[in-house]
Amino acid sequence: MTPRGRVALMVVGVTLGILVLFIGTVWVLMNAVSDEGLAAGGPRVAVVEIEGIIVDGASAVRELREHAENPAVKAVVLRVNSPGGVVAPTQEIFAAIQRVRKSGKPVIASFGAVAASGGYYVATAADRIYANPGSLTGSIGVVMQMANIEGLLKKVGVDYVVVKAGAYKDMGNFARTMTPEERKILQALLDDVYSQFVDAVAEGRGLDRKDVLAFADGRIYSGQQALALKMVDDLGGFEDAVEAAGKLANISGRPKLLYPRKRFSFRDLIESRLGLPPSTSLLPALPGIRTPLYLMQ
């Protein structure tokens, strides 16, 4: 190897070493705050953010579990800014909030611009709900959307062939009209999930089921309208929710907040550099592909 090659190799090695050291230092600093360290700094109110369309509840569920187990965290503020999402992840977050409450820690929900459908669903598990007068909420309902492009395929001369085992295996096929029997099956499915939604709201808000059914027709409401319907408890912003959480947790003065750690993601970095939308915005399913049920505004 030539002297110039050895120098270049040394430069690359030193650069990689510095990069590894930097990443290691950042990781240590981000994870250096232990439960004991937090406890030494006094009681905290943890903030859990439900942002955007709910497609995966794993991150929120993990945060809620950690806060339930952390002795320094005395209460949780759930900051919701979501138009809804997929049913199952929404229910996972709902159940995780209930577990936090069972651990003896109050949970206060705070609505941002919108907390509709699945966004409202998760909030009903909280002890109290704060909404801004103009926050959009409600939209209690379930939807499954599928395209029918049979006419288009015939027009361009495409013959779509399906080989199946099971009478309803291709139910929702975009290349043909849905049969009355298939529509009945899907309607029964949506009705069942809708009933679960209504039951969750009735239980969480302490309302009779018939009272929930009176406003659970899919429409959206302002925060002020929601207050009149007892869908929320108070009008107020994030700071009001934090103050209420502190009082319920018997914390004197304004409580210190514990915000979620921002997890570094090369995927997010690449998408932001390329100007791509966040992955969670790529929700609409392709026609003919099995689509989940959405609790969406």
Q: Residue 112 corresponds to which tokens in the numbers above? A: 């941002």
Contact 119, 149 (CB under 8 A): no
Task: Count the alpha carbons within 13 Å of 113 in the hemisphere toward its beta carbon.
Answer: 5
Q: Which amino acid is at 159?
A: D
- Cα dihedral value 82, 84, 90, 96, nearest 10: 20
Q: Which one, of 76, 26, 94, 83, lies nearest residue 53 by Cα?
A: 83
- CA–CA gap between residue 61 and residue 4 (Å, rounded): 54
Cβ count near 144 (within 10 Å):
15
Q: Tell me the C-alpha to C-alpha distance, in Å, between residue 49 and each of 10, 38, 54, 59, 202.
A: 45, 20, 11, 10, 24
Task: Count the alpha carbons within 13 Å of 283 in the hemisphere toward its beta carbon.
Answer: 18
Q: For the chain, first and last CA: distance in Å?
A: 65
Cβ count near 55 (within 10 Å):
17
* Packing angle, helices 58-69 and 87-102, rounded to 10: 0
| Burial class of residue 74 (count of CB atoms within 10 Å of its CB; 0-12, 13-18, 19+) | buried
Q: Residue 261 corresponds to which tokens in the numbers above? A: 């750690």
Q: Would you please indicate which residues are annotated as catalytic (active-site) residues?
A: 117, 169
